[in-house]
Amino acid sequence: MKPQVLQHLHMPPLLATPLHAHYDVHPLWQEANPQAFLAQHGHRFSGYVTTARFGVDLATLDALPQLKVISSFGVGTDVLPLDAARARGIAVGYTPEVLNDCVADTAFALLLDVARGLSHADRFVRNGQWLQGQFPLATKVSGKRLGILGLGRIGQVVARRASGFDMDVRYHNRRPNPAVPYTYEPRLEALAEWADFLVVISAGGPDTHKLVSADVLRALGPKGFLVNVARGTVVDEDALVQALESGGIAGAGLDVYVDEPRVPTRLLALDNVVLLPHLASATHETRQAMADLVVENLDAFYASGAVRHSPLG
């Protein structure tokens, strides 16, 4: 018999098709009352498939007494119950490495877009404003200073992208990484004060909640730009909106928000911010590779008792 696995929410065919081929999958997202279903049938399932955006809450975990493995589509772990999983001996799989390039590409696309005003310029042409005058001057990117908050796997790819633009790179982590050639800045405010562009690619969760504060934005200053492809919670969103409206910073490129998919209305009215719908890894190639790893993590666990890639170490 195939192992019984819960599918937390609707997933594209590139993941759902192989998942259903390998496992006896129940779509929890189709249940009118998921809590009632879990109370009656939760003991049947040994596997759980979710995403880095939605994770697994503790109430669901408690309703799955036979759960042995969680396989998550994505690299974020802030909504995965890692401590509870570790305590119960539940394996956790995720999909690192395969999305590094696309997330880094998106970060740089946002950086170029907001600095040069490309999305704003597109609207300028479409709205017929070019007939009334020239588009305003923008900010050069090449040769500028790039600060990276979170020099992990993706952050290092962002730094490599920056070399093609002759940018000087510094970074802030909880601790320095001796394996990288970039200058470490122990204080985030100091990094922001130095940088022309601050790219946020740190993990989410309580440790980084509103880490990019009003003080950090003030240090970035009226000529500085913020790019966030991490989690919306890493940035104080109210402070960011205020800084963008007042000219406290020059602009922002955002792929993530605090309450997705609800974007603050005040951001929608601003031309100095580029807004994306959390699509950094959303290419055919990368999403296929992520889907493959979700299934491979499950396959590896049911074959050997260990997932292929785990945030638990």
| Angle made by CA atoms 23, 279, 216, in degrees to the nearest 5 | 125
Instruction: State residue 12's pLDDT score.
Output: 87
Residue of 43, 86, 260, 285 marked active site: 260
User: For the chain, what are the domain ranges?
Assistant: 4-98+285-304, 100-275
Going by C-alpha positions, the residue among 67, 70, 75 that lies closest to residue 102 is: 75
User: CB neighbours (10 Å) of residue 267?
Assistant: 17
The reported pLDDT for the residue numbered 272 is: 98
Q: What is the mean pLDDT of each run of 10 residues along the chain (313 residues)?
A: 94 92 95 96 98 94 98 94 97 97 98 98 98 98 98 97 98 96 98 98 95 98 98 98 98 97 97 98 96 97 97 90
Q: Is 266 a catalytic residue?
A: no
DSSP run (H or E) holding 126: helix 118-126
Give me the catalytic one of 231, 237, 287, 309.
231
Q: Are 129 and 149 in contact (CB under 8 A)?
A: no
3-state secondary structure of 177: coil
Q: Please say if 231 is a catalytic residue.
A: yes
Query: Is the fold of 4-98+285-304 the same as that of 100-275?
Result: yes
Q: Which CATH class is domain 4-98+285-304?
A: alpha beta
Q: How far apart are CA 143 and CA 1, in angstroms?
A: 60
Domain 100-275: CATH class, spelled out: alpha beta
Question: Within 13 A of 77's CA, how many CA atoms are on the CB side?
Answer: 19
Active site includes 260? yes
Percent pLDDT > 90 in the chain is: 98
